[in-house]
Structure 1
Amino acid sequence: MPASAKQTLRVAVLADSDTRWKWGSLTANRIAPPNSDISLDGYLLRGRATPTARQLKEVGVTADSLREVTAVEFLRAMEKESYDILVLSLVGGGVQAMLHGLARAWHGRGERPVVVTGYVGVVYEKLADGLLLRHGADLVLANSRQDADRFREVYDGVGADSSAVTEVALPFLGGDAYTGEHDRNDPYTVVFAVQPSVPDNRRDRDYLLDRAIQHARFHPNREVLLKLRSKPGEHTTHIEELPYQKLVQGKDLPANFSLVYGHMGEVLDRTDLLVTISSTAALESLHRRIPTVVLTDLGIREGLGNHHFVGSGCLASWEQLDAGYKPVPDAEWVARQGVAAEGSYETAFDAARERIAKLLAGGDMPALKPYYTPETAPGYLPGILARHHLGPDGTPLPGAPAADKEPGPVRQIVRRAARGAYRHGVQRVAPVIRRMGEL
């Protein structure tokens, strides 16, 4: 093949939510070796957080094919299809189940895809648990220098091979750098980027909502936007039992306060100050040099995730923002977080690209070998695999939901109704039962 000719690589992404589809599909495009194009097939793992058409459109990534599957259906597809790269963009338990299922499906095969996994954003909880559930992939991507160091320390500390850890950056960073210069027809815009699961109670969520509304009243010359992740009935990576669009009902809202959906990058295009509790939106904002605040109103606590930003220079309260406080991020902290605000973003994926290119050119691939096995974790692993209808050796269990063809119209209607009933139970019934139990 001439040096200038491009090769097309077949890439598959398995994701279980809208945010993980975003991370997985964008990562697939970022890590393709130089001088190659990709043909992208998307697989959406059926579950409570399977993204809707609106959520997929908001991500803005197109695939050559996209279909919803069960775990067993996906494994059967991997037995039949031939891919160069497979990105597992799932929760840790899902990654571990697929690694064992794929090890069984590819048993005795030298030709298999390069398997890649990682995290969709900031890793601030369950570090050891999540990492060991991802062990066994050919590349475990770390979104920053700090994460890469921590990941290797965990793997080395339990005697697991840490060579798969590969430093990259978040794949969805981008956009023009903030200069402070705006169209004079646009007001100064404050964006409060909320999270589905943090905080997790009505009192704290009401408090944050009221403070954002109060900020709009204190600064009538500013526009305050409440950036929402999903619409009622939709799920993202985390369950949102108390969506802000319901909490806001009945409140007296000033004219300069509004709710917005949409692609985060497009919202940041008009942002002068990004406010959040603890979100990857903060890293997107810092990458673009937009003034960014991580709130301390509810304390700096591991449960909120804002402890990750200790040392960032971004911690502040609504009280301080009302008084005109402007954050100044710590340059050294930012550099360790993979934000690449200094301009190194385009080279952040070079190590992953080079590693994948070597694996693709190296002939037969070794068998997948996760750290967890029936020998190392006999009381833990079987339960994780069983959630995906797999036995301890990765074999599909009898009666596992799978189909070799697309379900008919009636079955699709039943599936949608069942999922809707499940979401209603999670969002409406379960919170009521919990509150009654607290009486």
Structure 2
Amino acid sequence: MRIAVLADSDTRWKWGALTAARIVPGPTMEAAGRDAAQVGPELSGFLLRGRATPTARQLAEVGVHVDSLKEVTAVEFLRTMAEEEYDLVVLALVGGGVQAMLHGLKRVWEGRKRRPVVVTGYVGVVYEKLADGLLLRHGADLVLANSRQDADRFRGVYEGVGADASSVTEVALPFLGGAPYEGEHDPYTVVFAAQPSVPDSRKDRTYLLERLIRHARKHPEREVLLKLRSRPGEHTTHIEELPYQKLAQKLDAPANFSLVYGNMGEVLDRTDLLVTISSTAALESLHRRIPTVVLSDLGVREVLGNHHFVGSGCLASWDQLDEGHRPEPDEEWVDRQGVAADGSYATAFDAARERITKLLGRPGGLAPLTPYYTPATAPGYLPGILARHHLGPDGSPLPGAPAADKEPSAVKQIVRRAARGAYRHGVQRVAPVIRRMGDL
């Protein structure tokens, strides 16, 4: 079986590659071992060119073997899909990217007797833009929901606008796993899982960092870690205007406080208490039954995403943690979130595998892709979505769309890296200065 995964950032590559390995019909990852190379299919990776294209370290951190890996534009990817045969295509993109690819793929596969099964979904917790994001993903053969709660919500949105909801398929987050928590480590280790964009103000980010350092001072016998998503200079889904690394340089941290990077699962191997605002890391931690706290210090607000954890039993403040509070998660809430702490995770992807098997074996092949948005249903919205990826209203490339016939030269690669660096510098250095000047 040939599988193609198209991703636009490090986190979406992680979700797409691991999802592909779990939903391919045949032996499960649990049966074959975690290395996806043992599962059997030929996996081709495509990275959508942009400011968040992941580095080699970020790709390697995922731990999924790929037979080929290529950086492409949207038009280049569509050309490859027109010229080569695949069985399964996973679109691990932001909603607008998924919608553009669905229309582009519909065009390039016109008249083809057989086409691949197209799969998409979400990287983690869906706490904002539910209707917008879902309708942009409509048209894929499978729209994966990471929990029973999400599956119910997804179907409700599709049915509410009169769209076919049969594509919604309940699975779980593909990166859950690891050994269950068995008791305190020596030293007891507290991990704060930071997020690039939540919260976004200097005041709030400084507050969280100061409280983390204060906790380290109050408990010198503990190891206190700040888990960061990316190293300085690396790109991620959201570019941070105020990296915690930069803020930490101005604070006098104790010896038992340190910054850590790398695979979240490996960090959780030594974690006794996971603290976050609303990171998907909380679900990874709950899956392993590690004590987990979602902070309420900055309020329980939609803009922070921690409102998703209402009813979880995990909401608490730094004051409570400083005094030794250990949360007790609500088992019913955990079960509805697809965390599968009860051991049922091994079967979480069975429904998706069965559906893909049926679709691949359908006599006469699959019907053309039919997104909800068309030039007739969304004439004021869809053309702009497609144009961002240099596609016209019918999914065909616009005149002058970037599409190379060969790998970019060394000079072009250097220019692209410089452009990404300039963009990051503008976001992290120039934009905050301009914003402060505007407040004078």
Query: What's the TM-score once normalised by structure 1's chain length?
Result: 0.96
Map 1:170-181 onto structure 2 (within 5 A): 170-181=173-184
One-letter code of the match for 1:236? T
One-letter code of the match for 2:278? S
Of 48-57 and 10-19, more deviation after overlay is shown by: 48-57
Contact (CA 8 Å) 2:54, 2:234: kept in 1 or not? yes
Q: 1:162 aligns with which of 162, 165, 170?
A: 165
> Sequence identity of aligned pairs in percent?
82
Match of 1:425 in 2: 426
One-letter code of the match for 2:191? V
Contact (CA 8 Å) 1:110, 1:366: kept in 2 or not? no
Match of 2:203 in 1: 203
Structure 1 unpaired stretches of 5+: 1-8
- 1:216 pairs with 2:216: yes
Contact (CA 8 Å) 2:390, 2:398: kept in 1 or not? yes
Aligned length: 428
Contact (CA 8 Å) 1:32, 1:353: kept in 2 or not? yes
CA distance in 2, matches of 1:230, 1:122: 20
Q: Shift in Å at residue 431 of structure 1? A: 2.1
Contact (CA 8 Å) 1:97, 1:394: kept in 2 or not? yes
- 1:61 pairs with 2:71: no
Contact (CA 8 Å) 1:173, 1:287: kept in 2 or not? yes
- 1:130 pairs with 2:130: no
Deviations 1:308-365 (A, max 9, x none): 0000000000010001100000000000000000000000000000000001111311
Q: Shift in Å at residue 37 of structure 1? A: 2.3
Map 1:67-106 onto structure 2 (within 5 A): 67-106=70-109
Contact (CA 8 Å) 1:233, 1:424: kept in 2 or not? no
Q: Shift in Å at residue 437 of structure 1? A: 1.8
Match of 2:17 in 1: 25
Of 279-288 and 247-256, more deviation after overlay is shown by: 247-256
One-letter code of the match for 1:229? R
Match of 2:151 in 1: 148
Match of 1:312 in 2: 312
Of 412-421 and 212-221, more deviation after overlay is shown by: 412-421
For 1:87, what is the secondary structure of its paired residue? strand
CA distance in 2, matches of 1:307, 1:50: 30
One-letter code of the match for 1:81? E
CA distance in 2, matches of 1:250, 1:37: 50
Match of 1:226 in 2: 226
Contact (CA 8 Å) 2:5, 2:46: kept in 1 or not? yes
One-letter code of the match for 1:350? D
For 2:326, what is the secondary structure of its paired residue? coil
One-letter code of the match for 1:321? L
Q: Shift in Å at residue 424 of structure 1? A: 1.3
Structure 2 unpaired stretches of 5+: 28-38
Contact (CA 8 Å) 2:239, 2:424: kept in 1 or not? no
For 2:270, what is the secondary structure of its paired residue? coil
Match of 1:343 in 2: 343
Contact (CA 8 Å) 2:268, 2:285: kept in 1 or not? yes
CA distance in 2, matches of 1:291, 1:138: 37
For 1:11, what is the secondary structure of its paired residue? strand
Match of 2:32 in 1: none
Match of 2:298 in 1: 298
- 1:10 pairs with 2:11: no
Map 1:406-417 onto structure 2 (within 5 A): 406-417=407-418
Map 1:180-191 onto structure 2 (within 5 A): 180-182=183-185, 186-191=186-191
Q: Shift in Å at residue 181 of structure 1? A: 4.8
Match of 1:44 in 2: 47
Deviations 1:279-327 (A, max 9, x none): 1100000000000000000000000000000000000000100011000
Match of 1:6 in 2: none
For 1:254, what is the secondary structure of its paired residue? coil
CA distance in 1, matches of 2:235, 2:428: 10
Q: Shift in Å at residue 250 of structure 1? A: 2.4
One-letter code of the match for 2:137? R
Query: What's the TM-score once normalised by structure 2's chain length?
Result: 0.96
Q: Shift in Å at residue 209 of structure 1? A: 0.1
CA distance in 2, matches of 1:74, 1:435: 41
Contact (CA 8 Å) 2:99, 2:136: kept in 1 or not? yes
CA distance in 2, matches of 1:384, 1:433: 29
Q: Shift in Å at residue 410 of structure 1? A: 1.5
Contact (CA 8 Å) 2:184, 2:272: kept in 1 or not? no
CA distance in 1, matches of 2:169, 2:125: 16
